[in-house]
Structure 1
């Protein structure tokens, strides 16, 4: 049975922090490949056009054979829900043990996701701490245990693992802010991604 990880998100835009998380997951777990799945239409936020976010992902991941970018969420042409993504990918990759890479702040909301109780049991969860808000590893572990306890009260079993990622204080929102303010984003994103953003004038104003 192969072991694959889904890394979902808006990636608006992808940055070095995302890439470090995915690389860390490859080396700290038994997964063989990371499948990046950009949301086509995030249900709770507005993002740059899918075509731009997809192109930047493809640029950023092209040199790593363990990374692949999926367009599966674009096929629905509706709101992107994680459980639908997992079901659709399972049809493409049978006989797979699934993992899901997610940031700690997002993992905290899992009990409130669309069909979140069902999804929680369908894969193993790889959690990336969010050091931007000053969390430590023990605090991150405590938050994960609290999510597990919430789900257990609903008779839901979940398996999770905290990734020990490098301390990188980068976020997509920070990059978008810098772009709007005309500040440099060199070394926050891969250089080819930065060139793509500049060429297409992305994030130079509020979307």
Structure 2
């Protein structure tokens, strides 16, 4: 049974439905792909646009070019997935609202969705122009897949964010995605690489080969 929480606002029939999926993707793994595929099915999206961050704050990541290449390898067999390099030419701090504005210029007449993890969604009220951004798209939220978080708890967290927005006279539309439990994360993959353990079946085989051939993460801190 699919679980849908809150309502997604209706769109006009002539508007395409596209979703942004931003992140570090260091590296991309099956969990990311499962989230995107679930969003495609539950909201009938035409396309998911993957947006790798150029210089993620507060963390050291593999070079942007390598993360983009791994993304391309992972999604190459799905025509509904595409990678955007909209962040590549940014100078200074990159803000989500700028990403949406830039992509809107490339994809006019679009009803936008933003795919985001629950932990990130929880911080939305503190984002730069977050209240404005919240109304420019609908939010597709991936619940926590680790730590035993229940769907009910995830729903309550989303409702808290909605309430914070409402107190500031802003409306937000969100939906909690019904994603099968997959206990994989980028940090786990990096840890296994450092310990020289297998990451087979945690990432697409092409990504695993790319990581192995370039000796990624073997001596890198999280």
**Matches of 1:45 and 1:142, distance apart in 2:** 29
- Give CA deviations for 1:15-74 in whole Å, capped at 9, x if unaligned: 000000000000000311000000011233221100010000000000001101111110
Question: For 1:87-98, what aligned pairs fall within 5 Å after superposition?
Answer: 87-98=101-112
Q: Which runs of 5+ in 1 are unaligned?
A: none
What displacement does 1:138 show?
0.9
**Matches of 2:24 and 2:219, distance apart in 1:** 18
Moved over 3 A (4+): none
Q: Which residue of 1 aligns with 2:44?
A: 30
Could you tell me which of 67, 72, 83 is aligned with 1:69? 83
Contact 1:8–1:37 (Cα < 8 Å) also in 2: yes
Q: TM-score, normalised by structure 2?
A: 0.91
The structure in which a higher percent of residues are helix is 1
Q: Which runs of 5+ in 2 are unaligned?
A: 1-14
The count of aligned residue pairs is 207
Q: Which residue of 1 aligns with 2:121?
A: 107
Contact 1:8–1:38 (Cα < 8 Å) also in 2: yes
- Give CA deviations for 1:142-200 in whole Å, capped at 9, x if unaligned: 11001111111111110000000011011001111111111111110001100001111
Could you tell me which of 186, 194, 203 is aligned with 1:180? 194
**Matches of 1:79 and 1:120, distance apart in 2:** 19
RMSD between aligned alpha carbons?
Answer: 1.0
1:79 is paired with a residue of what secondary structure? Answer: coil
Matched, 1:131 2:145: yes
